[in-house]
Amino acid sequence: MCRDLKVFFVMINILKPLIKQFMPFAQERIGFDHPPRLFLRQDTDNANNPLGKTAYYDVAAKSVTLYITGRHPKDIMRSLAHELVHHKQNCEGRFDNIGEMGEGSAQTNPGVRDMEIAANRDGSMCLRDWEDSIKGTIYNEHLLK
């Protein structure tokens, strides 16, 4: 457990500056009014599941939970960008009366499917644009040390 906790804090120290710089960019690019609450979760059992969770957006709490155990920081950031699109959708009221949102709903509910397509497309492109905007900067060189 002590090793897992150490790895968790190392990852937190990598992610904090990335998230701090990314959030204003994402807020402007994606277009949400206020940032959601953000939680970083360590979950070894989930990390050991090849089809485990990567992140989720809680509509009622307006929060994003990111699973970080055993993941590459860029992959975690991609999950964050995806969930931020869902946050925008929630702020716009798109989750109101959407119907079933449980497991498999992206295959059975056309509204949920459309929102997932948008989150995959817009979230990934937001992260890509942000990454391209900081490559070669002093900030990025600091992260590589």
- pLDDT at position 57 is 96
pTM of the model: 0.88
Quick check: helix, strand or coil at residue 95? coil
Contacts of 116 (CB under 8 A, 6+ apart): 106
- Are the beta carbons of 51 and 92 closer than 8 angstroms? no
Distance CA 119, CA 97 (A): 19
Q: Tokens 């277009």 sit at which residue?
A: 31
CB-based contact 119:87 (threshold 8 Å): no
Cα-Cα end-to-end distance for the chain: 27
Q: What pLDDT sits at residue 7?
A: 82
pLDDT in tens, 16-66: 999 999 999 999 999 999 999 999 999 999 999 999 999 999 999 999 999
Residue with tokens 């699973």: 67
Q: What is the pLDDT of residues 81-130, one digit of tens each?
A: 999 999 999 999 998 987 777 777 677 677 789 999 999 999 999 999 99
pLDDT top residue among 7 and 36 = 36
